[in-house]
Structure 1
């Protein structure tokens, strides 16, 4: 008998350190290097900027409050798909599962290219062959995770720890400088005081929420955690606190070290600070930090994304091949499929379109995720819940309204994405109903 392949048997090898590392590692990536300047430009008031970063963190905690209950109560690997399928049925489960998986494939392409582009600033040959180097990065991370969960786990813990250390070092350097010192002699256009409106604040919050995206990573591994009832809630809340503190510290340090007008105009404000502190070594340090950020996040995506297909395959909503697990505990077919589909995206640039669509789809998925919480509370009241959401039903209802507000404002700003999202919903609903009827027919057919 071939023991290298097991069908439908993920292994309980993971614990709290990995669960925290994968959440923090998926959130903290290259986004935090660019986002401070973008947010400052959208909402040109330093106090409001800091409040938005804090509000984004509070949003994550409200979502974690919901996720901690439903993902620890149904500890299966598969992420958002699992509670949505259990609470809202095949159609919505299929929609959320496919959406989050496609987003993961696009993220794999984007992060691989980002790592190659940053390395290309140091090595001219890499700059001339960016897509090819990006594919090599992606294949390398895929091979690491193909070897097994243990290898991916240690890579994630190590890369996340190093990312945190580097960011804290940047914060320390920025705070050690005299206020405004990093701005140097950089000339900028005069700061125009633009009126703050609800729409501009919502747009800024959308951007901040996107930079916090990935906070939920540990729920994708719930079926592989040694003690999911304790570790999933703890990982969600502890990682949220870590990321909030890091993001607030980074933005506070950048606002202090740079003139606010310089921050608004900067695409890579961290680079400005590092170069001011280290001189000619600054660009090298920035590039290496950025490559590490991208690769650490890429490992988290490559490791978690196959679990979405695995969860759907368990329920008959995807090919049974996705249930093939090797001796190292990796769903090999699902892992390979994501990598194979990411490669043409790398060469085509199609991930940009997918990411624009993903903004609406992830918010829509978050709405269904919270709705599944209410559905499970109503239809499965006797379900064992190691963690019960605080403030029920007010706090879960509040975060549902926040998601709806963000989704509506996003669709208003991106009507094409909204139309495509509606089309995907229209396709998934009849497919889900058909699959549900087939399951009932097979169950009713006597053997």
Structure 2
């Protein structure tokens, strides 16, 4: 296997538009959608307001993608949001943004592996009680595919996302055209007195909606591996977000068309009830298969993204340099090995749940400073080439910065421990970032290789 030295420190350009769209779609849509739809309705039992919230989520991340498109095409380096944050605000904030997103990828991969194992026990009940080993059986073959090379991993993601989208469309069609046993939620709410709705209920509901869109930015992690990144990634993000927003709205419409309000609110998995009404006992099997496909394609996207963030951190001197090695297939194999070990430890320890509880406000904080990076770089580096300039600057970027800041405040208000944790991590990252900056080798100051993309 060749490493970063043999390949001149570069990842291989073997991906294109189809992959960029597929990885965003694959990362966003997971098995959690089937549970989240019911949980949002439980918090906000107003069908049209529920749909408005899902649509607003799509608009929100489209505004975020508008900012990301300028930043990733201006500084097309592998690593995700930390790249622009570090360029704008220095090593300390870059380190914080990098580690928050890297840990979130790892926690998501651990969670998705366990989701696959849980649903497999519906098909094979004898596996009950072996959740962690079975979860690793889902994880390790995916890693093996990616160690072959970026082309093989990209092909797996593109095919998986296509199958996922077709299955979701089939479920939506079944729910729309199936004859419901009782009038659906839309009819019922029109007849009943509207229940009270509180501010925190809306915040909790939107946290779940926003979480369902998590991963919209996955394509930017692969900017150095895309053959035409400066055009493909902005278009792919817009396409994948638009498609997912449409699917999310239609999925919720179909659920509320097929089930009454009380049934949805009382169920952890309303789509299972929909398919059960159509297929009878076979509905549980259909849900299990659907969930495994949704979760495994999202797992694939998270496993691809995490090591590339670690690769970027290592190359920029914010992690040991060995993680920047690349094998002959174009995969950062050392970063993959480190990431795989971390995910396996999370699976067996259950620590990913702890990470998830801490990540909500931290990820929002990461996007707040990412949004702010656009304004900082416009001021500090006005001559930086910008192949894509954020649409509606400064109004639309300022709007998404305002939305993300408001969400950060609301999330901290709902969970003050997240705010305290965030403050502690910032306090730790500042001195660590200063030390790492001083210890960097001179080679890390070289002109970055993204110049070749301009």
1:196 and 1:182, CA in 2 relative to 1: closer, same or farther beyond 3 A? Answer: closer
Matching of residue 224 in structure 1 with residue 225 in structure 2 = yes
User: Structure 2 CA distance, aligned partners of 1:142 and 1:86?
Assistant: 31
Q: Counterpart of 1:98?
A: 99
C-alpha change, 1:155 and 1:53, in structure 2 (3 Å) is same
- Pairwise CA RMSD of aligned residues? 2.0
How many residue pairs match? The answer is 438
Summarize the alignment of residues 153-302 of structure 1 with structure 2, pairs less than 5 Å apart.
153-179=154-180, 181=182, 193-302=194-303
Task: Measure how far apart 1:102 and its partner are.
Answer: 0.8
- Indicate the residue corresponding to 1:394 in structure 2: 395
- The alignment partner of 2:280 has SS state of helix
Q: Is the partner of 1:364 in helix, strand or coil? A: helix
Does residue 11 of structure 1 match 2:12?
yes
TM-score (norm. length: structure 1): 0.94
**1:192 Cα deviation after fit:** 8.2
Residues in 2 aligned to 1:379 and 1:70: alpha-carbon distance in whole angstroms: 14
Change in 2 beyond 3 A, CA 1:157/1:374: same
CA shift digits 1:178-214 (9 cap, x unpaired): 3565989xxxxx9884422333222222221111110
Distance 1:151 1:442, change over 3 A: closer
Q: Give the whole-Å Cα distance in 2 for the aligned partners of 1:232 and 1:157.
A: 15
Deviation at 1:360, TM superposition (A): 1.2
The answer to which of 435-444 and 278-287 deviates more is 435-444
SS in 1 for 2:326: strand
- Distance (whole Å) between structure 2 residues aligned to residue 117 and residue 136 of structure 1: 12
- State how far apart, in whole Å, the 2-side matches of 1:182 and 1:92 are: 52
What are the equivalent positions in structure 2 for 1:11-410 lying under 5 Å apart?
11-179=12-180, 181=182, 193-410=194-411
**Is contact 2:315–2:444 with CA below 8 Å preserved after alignment?**
no
SS in structure 2 at match of 1:325: coil
Cα separation, partners in 2 of 1:363 and 1:4, compared to 1, 3 Å: closer
Note the alpha carbon deviations across 1:211-237, whole angstroms, 9 max, x for none: 111000000000111111101110110
Structure-2 separation of matches of 1:325 and 1:24? 26
Counterparts of 2:53 and 2:267 in 1: how far apart (Å)?
Answer: 19
Task: Decide whether aligned partners of structure 1 residues 180 and 360 sit closer, same or farther in structure 2, where only a CA change above 3 A counts.
Answer: farther
- Give CA deviations for 1:244-272 in whole Å, capped at 9, x if unaligned: 11001100111111112211222111111
Do the aligned partners of residues 3 and 309 (structure 1) sit closer, same or farther apart at CA in structure 2, a change above 3 Å counting?
A: closer
Q: Does the 8 Å contact 1:182/1:276 carry over to 2? A: no
Report the Cα offset of residue 62 of structure 1.
Answer: 0.5
Say whether the 8 Å CA contact 1:309–1:318 is kept in structure 2: yes
* 2:449 paired residue number: none
The alignment partner of 1:383 has SS state of coil
- For the 8 Å contact 1:182–1:272, the answer to whether it is kept is no
Q: Gaps (5+ residues) in structure 1?
A: 185-189
Structure 1 partner of 2:450: none
User: For the structure 1 residues 4 and 432, does the alpha-carbon distance in structure 2 shift closer, same or farther, using more than 3 Å as the test?
Assistant: closer
Distance in 1 of aligned mates of 2:253 and 2:30:
18
Question: Does the aligned pair in 2 maintain the 1:306–1:338 contact within 8 Å?
Answer: yes
Say whether the 8 Å CA contact 1:180–1:259 is kept in structure 2: no
Kept after mapping to 2: 8 A contact 1:182/1:273: no
> Given the superposition, is the C-alpha separation of residues 348 and 224 from structure 1 closer, same or farther in structure 2, using an over 3 Å criterion?
same
Residues 413-437 of structure 1 show CA distances to partners (whole Å, capped at 9, x for unaligned) of: 2122221121111100111122233
- Mapped partners of 1:92, 1:180: distance in 2: 54
Question: Contact 2:2–2:326 at 8 Å: present in 1 too?
Answer: no
Distance 1:209 1:329 in 2: 32
Q: Could you say if the C-alpha distance between residues 363 and 3 of structure 1 is closer, same or farther in structure 2, counting changes exceeding 3 Å?
A: closer
1:4 CA drift (Å): 6.5
Q: TM-score scaled by structure 2? A: 0.93
Unaligned runs of 5+ in 2: 186-190, 446-454
- 1:4·1:327 contact (CA, 8 Å) conserved in 2? yes
**Counterpart-to-counterpart distance in 2, 1:158 and 1:60:** 24
Once the two structures are superposed, what CA deviation does each residue of 1:113-167 show, in whole Å capped at 9, x if it has no partner? 1100000111122222111010111111111111111111111011101111111
Distance 1:333 1:192, change over 3 A: farther
Contact 1:180–1:256, Cα closer than 8 Å, also in 2: no
Q: Residues 317 and 444 of structure 2 are in contact (CA less than 8 Å); yes or no, is this contact kept in structure 1?
A: no
